[in-house]
Structure 1
């Protein structure tokens, strides 16, 4: 696939933005959840920690894709990195979808059945779920290796190591295997999870909107997380999976599959925002980092803005108590 100069710059810009914003945010989230799990973990902490690790792996392999785009979609790196980077790339996307779905189920159970779920929830079950998610994702996405080395011993097929493209050109025989498999991937890793997330978060919003004794901040955070997750599904995952369906109907790889895949990379930098709504520990860490940066940059005006609300909360004891409540 030949990319225009303008689109190539757009792809590099999106990849660069994802790497620059996603890497520090996920490192911060990794540190926060690691400390939380060491102290006292919950199933939500385990899921968020596992999703953070998945995003970090994705970001570490993203430069390989950037090199490919910079070289006009020609693969100039050692060829074994081609199927490996593709395998990691697609596995992490599938794994992220499963994790986001599990988080939505956990949220729904905590809101709809708070007492029963609190008594039965166990971090070990979340660990087992994360392992299963990883295994299922990697098993499905091993299709990348299958396609890259399909008919490897056939003398009429070009040796994969001598190709100058990576997972771009497919024979008719390969497409007969690949196109139906992509549809199955869409059903398992998008359509079913998306329906589950829609049900869980719509129910959460409906239940929380009817409860008058819920703290408004907690209600808004829960609604923000629900809407943010559904937005990630629509923006990051929907275009790519629609291209699978379109390619199957037409009997060839969709022409806009790469532009659709481009939005999927944004998931790695959008996930930390979902984490922010999910974890009070991460919110506190973000606040501490922000305050530390302001102090180091010596911006008195910004520092006064950050602490401005504290001057109107009465006595010091009352200010401390109010701040603790907002963190919770």
Structure 2
């Protein structure tokens, strides 16, 4: 989430202290996030593309997610520079490209994680249909659709939401008023977060319920449930505060009290900054998801056996 915070919310309020504090916090957060995120995601791609000989649904989704995270990490050095320095007006096209890449990485990650949750739900909750619905080709088509959808939705809009001019500017800051129209914010909130979050939460909850209902109390079942909880936390913790912050930024433009504006501005910028930790959280989830893949085959067989027994009993 780019820090598109309109620092000068009103002409009578000053946010110099907030901006100075955030410049320090950004460096403390972005530097380790960039380093660890780059190393972990590059290592994940190396494992998926070189060492693993067989492409499965999970490895395809995780490869796409790693690419999305690397796309998100690429603009971070430019964000750190833009927070400290103003850019000449001639660099506005470059800024729009970097902002587009940043948002594509964020929302591409959100939808890829949604695909992983749905794929897990199909494998565990609908084991009979999984053979027809799940395949490496279907996973590859889903990832390609996510890339095309996110690029088509974000890339054209970034150029329209930044006002051209001849003055120096801060990249990743200061969308034009067109970027804060109610229709735009509603689309970002609903299609960018609420619908994917609802799908992830519902699929995760039903998967956990199915595992517990199956009567499996093995270490594999317990580990799978823990992995689902971890994946759900890794999705909600970075993205929920940042989208709340976007909504608050939309509302704060109507607030006239400078004290409230300063506090909300600090929360907005800090929440958007911390959302970049998702690159590291996703990389840590790769190991757990890979472990889950090995357990899912046995769990799906157990669920299928339970449902066959239930079906036979109901026919008596």
In the superposition, the TM-score normalised over structure 1's length comes to 0.73
Residues 1:221 and 2:223 are matched in the alignment: yes
List per-residue Cα deviations over 1:66-123 (Å, max 9, x = no partner): 111233xx33694432111111111111000000111001111111122430344221
Shift of residue 195, structure 1, vs aligned partner: 0.9
List per-residue Cα deviations over 1:254-273 (Å, max 9, x = no partner): 73432221122111111012
Which among 151, 154, 161 is matched to residue 147 of structure 1? Answer: 161
Residues 1:208 and 2:211 are matched in the alignment: yes
Equivalence map 1:149-168=2 (5 Å) = 150=163, 152=164, 158-159=165-166, 162-168=167-173
User: Structure 1 unaligned runs (5+)?
Assistant: 153-157, 284-328
How many angstroms apart in 2 are the aligned matches of 1:70 and 1:224? 41
- Residue matched to 1:128: 141
Which among 75, 78, 82 is matched to residue 68 of structure 1? Answer: 82
RMSD (CA atoms)? 2.6
Q: How many matched pairs?
A: 268
How many angstroms apart in 2 are the aligned matches of 1:228 and 1:133? 23
Residues 1:113 and 2:118 are matched in the alignment: no
Equivalence map 1:125-274=2 (5 Å) = 125-142=138-155, 143-148=157-162, 150=163, 152=164, 158-159=165-166, 162-172=167-177, 174-175=178-179, 177=181, 179-213=182-216, 215-216=218-219, 218-251=220-253, 255=265, 256-274=267-285
How many angstroms apart in 1 are the aligned matches of 2:172 and 2:46? 35
Kept after mapping to 2: 8 A contact 1:36/1:281: no
Distance 1:55-1:176 versus aligned 2 partners, 3 A rule: closer
Kept after mapping to 2: 8 A contact 1:183/1:244: no
How many angstroms apart in 2 are the aligned matches of 1:221 and 1:109? 18
Deviating more after overlay: 205-214 vs 18-27: 205-214
Shift of residue 57, structure 1, vs aligned partner: 1.9
Shift of residue 250, structure 1, vs aligned partner: 4.6
How many angstroms apart in 2 are the aligned matches of 1:171 and 1:44? 40
| Stretches of 4+ aligned residues off by more than 6 angstroms | none
In the superposition, the TM-score normalised over structure 2's length comes to 0.76
- Residue matched to 1:49: 63
How many angstroms apart in 2 are the aligned matches of 1:183 and 1:89? 20
How many angstroms apart in 1 are the aligned matches of 2:34 and 2:282? 13
- Residue matched to 1:86: 99
User: Structure 2 unaligned runs (5+)?
Assistant: 1-6, 8-15, 255-260, 295-316
Equivalence map 1:289-300=2 (5 Å) = none
Deviating more after overlay: 206-215 vs 21-30: 206-215
Distance 1:30-1:170 versus aligned 2 partners, 3 A rule: closer
Distance 1:66-1:215 versus aligned 2 partners, 3 A rule: same
List per-residue Cα deviations over 1:154-194 (Å, max 9, x = no partner): xxxx33xx33222433454x2564x4312211211210111
